[in-house]
Amino acid sequence: MEYTLNCNGKLLNLKEPQVMGILNATPDSFYAASRQQTDNQIAERVRQILEEGASIIDVGGCSTRPDSAPATEEEEMERLHRALAIVRREAPDAIISIDTFRPNVARMTVEEYGADMINDVGGSVLANISPLTDQMEMFRMVSRLHVPYIYMSRKATMKEVMLDCAEVVDQLRSMGQNDIVLDPGFGFGKTIEDNYAVMGELERMEMLHLPVLVGISRKSMIYKLLHTSQEQALNCTTALNTIALMKGASILRVHDVREAVECVKMVAATKAFC
């Protein structure tokens, strides 16, 4: 199906799947090579993401990796203030997504830096990190901000993911939210077996008639299965991204942009001759 997202007046066409490059302005994200600490590292990463062909830069200021000690809201905002000033300087017209589960952080990034979408993994972390935060606050916030919203489900099976997403979409629609992207939540609330079962049924999410984001880049579902490491997980990340595209994914969230862009081109070429 064909989808478009209204990103602050810029229409992002998802007829051809898009690649979202990860920019972690954190000291503790799960993949060490993805951490950008200095101003120069952040600027270089912005240029790399765009030069390698991504259309979205996903900026995060708080790691949500398992067993992490999360940054406070103040720390997350400080990191994002610094990173987004650099991103906007280097790429003023880039489409920027903000990886956050905090409504106030979402508001700040949209109002002060013109962030174009919110990528919320709150459903997976609120119980452990911020038990007093009601995710409905985020729903209300994004509906007021009028930016696309990425909802991630932490349910374990595809049936549960579908029911969860359908319920959330109804809630968001009732609040006036228009642009919604669904993320089945690989690596969150799932065993290794659950992750592969969800991937095996990914095409079922097309029944919800919304674009699907897949984020499996270098995750433990890959390297634990193969008894390797994050550093050795690129080949199978590429394989799973290809499977996801064949099953209808509209956005790939990745550390390795060039390889993901090549996947999109190869799958498009294959489908053109089917």
Q: Which residues, other chains included, contact 223 with Cβ-Cβ below 8 Å and sequence gap of 6+? A: 229, 230, 232, 233
Q: How far apart are the first and last CA of the chain?
A: 16
Global confidence as pTM: 0.91
**Tell me, what's the pLDDT at 7?**
95
110: helix, coil or strand? helix
Q: Given a cut of 50, is residue 131 above it in pLDDT?
A: no
Tens digit of pLDDT for each residue in 77-92?
999 999 999 999 999 9
Tens digit of pLDDT for each residue in 139-182?
999 999 999 999 999 999 999 999 999 999 999 999 999 999 99
Looking at the DSSP bridge assignments, the partners of residue 21 are: 57, 254
Residue 163 identity: L
**Tell me, what's the pLDDT at 65?**
65
Integer Cα distance of 180 and 250 in angstroms? 12
**Tell me, what's the pLDDT at 139?**
95
Q: Return the number of other C-beta atoms located less than 10 Å from residue 32's C-beta.
A: 11
Tens digit of pLDDT for each residue in 5-56?
999 999 999 999 999 999 998 775 544 554 566 888 899 999 999 999 999 9
Active site (catalytic) residues: 219, 253
Q: Is 181 left (phi over 0), alpha (psi -120 to 50) or beta?
A: beta
Looking at the DSSP bridge assignments, the partners of residue 46 are: none
Looking at the DSSP bridge assignments, the partners of residue 58 are: 22, 97
Burial pattern 98-108, b for ≥16 Cβ within 10 A else e, equals bbbbbbebbbb
Residue identified by tokens 């081109």 is 265
The residue count of the chain comes to: 274
**Tell me, what's the pLDDT at 134?**
66
Write the DSSP assignment of 2-43 as a string of letters. --EEEETTEEEE-SS-EEEEEEE-SS--SSGGGB--SHHHHH
Integer Cα distance of 236 and 219 in angstroms? 10
Integer Cα distance of 241 and 250 in angstroms? 11
Quickly count helices (H) and strands (E) in the chain.
10, 10
Tens digit of pLDDT for each residue in 99-127?
999 999 999 999 999 999 999 987 545 44
Stretch (H or E) spanning 78: helix 73-90
**Tell me, what's the pLDDT at 211?**
98
Of residues 210 and 232, the one with the higher pLDDT is 210
Tens digit of pLDDT for each residue in 224-274?
999 988 888 899 999 999 999 999 999 999 999 999 999 999 999 998 876
206, 244 Cβ separation under 8 angstroms? no
Provide the mean pLDDT of the chain.
90
